[in-house]
């Protein structure tokens, strides 16, 4: 079983994947941009500024998804002593942080024509900013701590504290009076968003997910090469 975690066996699979993921990403992104910028209708209130949604919302979804995944992997890795989970988490974090920043920046750009201001200390905006700080602390911990056992423990604590913020981001629009509108997409009930806008939104989300996977594979492969160069047999 443990032979599955040998660097050369993992690398033989992950080293071939990026070129296929890149090709699929370009195709899906092309479809998504065409749908979002050309085929989807403008909003009757926000006009063409609503098209920022096709970057802002997927970026936010990917941000939350990656942090949740990192948390699950970190806790599992610490409990079951599976170092590969920490390596996967470390490789996922950069793209999660980048998409967090993209969500904040595009939200600010969208806020100007919609709310009349670049920034407001809205519950959801503030909680997204806090999540970016947790991402930053997580990435910083990997840089400043050399002892692996120590960094495993510290990063696990950071993710446990940070994951508390994820449901706050999700349900802030329901719990408090915020500038954000209630969720337009509901998995368990009929969504209020029209299919002409929902389809490009989902396609752009798929494109961003593929881009995250591409960045992850590149980072993960780099980490595996470092392990291989050290002459280690397993993670």
Q: How many Å apart are CA 128 and CA 130, to the nearest integer?
A: 5
In a domain? residue 45: no
In a domain? residue 156: yes
Q: How many Å apart are CA 116 and CA 123, to the nearest integer?
A: 17
How many domains does the chain contain in total? Answer: 1
Predicted confidence at residue 5, as pLDDT, reads 54
Sign of the C-alpha dihedral, residues 218, 223, 228, 234? negative
Cβ proximity of 34 and 191 under 8 Å: no
Cβ proximity of 70 and 142 under 8 Å: no
In a domain? residue 1: no
Predicted confidence at residue 178, as pLDDT, reads 74
Average pLDDT, consecutive stretches of 10 residues, N- to C-terminus, the chain (235 residues): 59 90 98 95 81 96 98 95 93 98 95 87 92 98 93 97 94 75 67 87 98 97 87 59
Predicted confidence at residue 235, as pLDDT, reads 58
Give residue-wise pLDDT tens across range 38-64. Answer: 999 987 777 788 899 999 999 999 999
Predicted confidence at residue 1, as pLDDT, reads 45
Predicted confidence at residue 173, as pLDDT, reads 76
In a domain? residue 234: no
Predicted confidence at residue 4, as pLDDT, reads 53
Predicted confidence at residue 138, as pLDDT, reads 98
Cβ proximity of 152 and 64 under 8 Å: no
In a domain? residue 159: yes
Model pTM? Answer: 0.91
CB neighbourhood size of 51 (10 A): 19
In a domain? residue 165: yes
In a domain? residue 205: yes
Predicted confidence at residue 2, as pLDDT, reads 42
Give residue-wise pLDDT tens across range 93-135. Answer: 999 999 999 999 999 999 888 888 888 888 899 999 999 999 9
Predicted confidence at residue 127, as pLDDT, reads 95
Q: Which domain holds residue 187?
A: 8-38+51-229
């Amino acid at each position: 079983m443990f032979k599955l975690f040998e660097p050369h066996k993992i690398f033989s699979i992950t080293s071939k994947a990026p070129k296929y993921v890149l090709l699929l990403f370009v195709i899906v992104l092309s479809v998504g941009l065409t749908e979002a910028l050309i085929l989807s209708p403008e909003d009757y209130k926000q006009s063409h500024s609503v098209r920022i949604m096709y970057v802002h919302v997927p970026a936010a979804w990917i941000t939350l998804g990656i942090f949740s995944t990192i948390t699950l992997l970190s806790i599992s890795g610490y409990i079951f002593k599976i170092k590969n989970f920490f390596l996967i988490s470390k490789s996922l974090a950069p793209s999660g942080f980048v998409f967090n920043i993209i969500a904040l920046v595009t939200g600010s750009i969208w806020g100007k024509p919609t709310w009349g201001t670049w920034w407001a200390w809205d519950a959801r905006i503030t909680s997204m900013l806090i999540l970016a700080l947790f991402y930053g602390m997580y990435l910083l911990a990997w840089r400043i701590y050399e002892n692996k056992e120590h960094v495993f423990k510290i990063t696990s604590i950071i993710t446990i504290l940070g994951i508390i913020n994820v449901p706050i981001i999700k349900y802030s629009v329901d719990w408090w009076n915020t500038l954000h509108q209630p969720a337009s997409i509901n998995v368990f009930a009929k969504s209020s968003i029209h299919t002409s806008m929902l389809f490009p939104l989902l396609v752009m989300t798929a494109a961003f997910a593929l881009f995250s996977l591409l960045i992850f594979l590149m980072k993960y492969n780099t980490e595996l090469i470092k392990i291989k160069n050290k002459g280690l047999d397993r993670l």
